[in-house]
Amino acid sequence: MTSSLRRLSFLAALAVLPAAALAGCAARDPGSHTRDPLPSRTPATSASPTLAASPTSTEAPIGGGFPDARTTGLRPGVPLKKVGEVTVMKEGAVVENLEVHGKLNIKADNVTVRNVRVIGEGDWSIIQAEGASGAVIEDCEISGDGTVKAQWGVLNQGGQITVRRANIHTVSNSFGSDHGLIEDSYMHDFKEFPGDHVTGPQANGSPRKGLSLTIRHNTILNQLSQTSAISLYQDFSRAYDVLIENNLLGGGGYAIYGGAGKFGTPTNIKIVNNVFTRRLFPKGGFWGPLTYFEPKGKGNRFEGNVWEDTREAIEP
- Listed by start position, the domains of the chain span 73-171, 193-315
Using CA atoms, how far residue 85 sits from 62, 92, 117, 126, 150, in Å, is 33, 19, 12, 10, 14
Mean pLDDT in residue range 2-26: 35
193-205 per-position pLDDT tens digit: 999 999 999 999 9
pLDDT at 16 exceeding the cut of 90: no
- Dihedral over alpha carbons 48, 50, 51, 55 (to 10 degrees): 110
Largest Cα span, the chain: 56
Structure confidence at residue 64 as a pLDDT band (50, 70, 90): confident
Nearest-angstrom CA–CA distance, 102 and 124:
9
Cβ atoms 252, 229 nearer than 8 A: yes
Yes or no: say if 83 and 15 are a contact pair by the CB < 8 Å rule: yes
- pLDDT at residue 11 in the model: 35
Instruction: Give residue-wise pLDDT tens across range 141-159.
Output: 999 999 999 999 999 999 9
pLDDT digits (tens, 9 = 90+) for 270-291: 999 999 999 999 999 999 999 9
C-alpha distance from residue 182 to each of 129, 200, 213, 230, 245 (Å): 17, 11, 8, 12, 11
- First and final C-alpha spacing in the chain: 28
- Which stretches of the chain are DSSP H helices? 49-52
Instruction: Show the CA angle centred on residue 45, arms to residues 44 and 49, nearest 5°.
Output: 65
Q: Is the model's pLDDT at 23 over the cut of 60?
A: no
pLDDT in tens, 101-126: 999 999 999 999 999 999 999 999 99
Determine the Cα–Cα distance for residues 132 and 106; give it in Å rounded to an integer: 7
Q: How confident is the model at residue 61 (pLDDT cuts 50, 70, 90)?
A: low
Q: pLDDT tens digit string along 204-243?
A: 999 999 999 999 999 999 999 999 999 999 999 999 999 9
**Mean residue pLDDT across the chain:** 86
Taking residues 53-61, what's their average pLDDT? 43
- Cα–Cα distance, 241 to 245 (Å, whole number): 13
Task: State the sign of the Cα–Cα–Cα–Cα dihedral 213, 216, 218, 220.
Answer: positive
Of 303, 307, 203, residue with least CA distance to 248: 307
Whether residue 6 is predicted with pLDDT greater than 50 in this model: the reply is: no
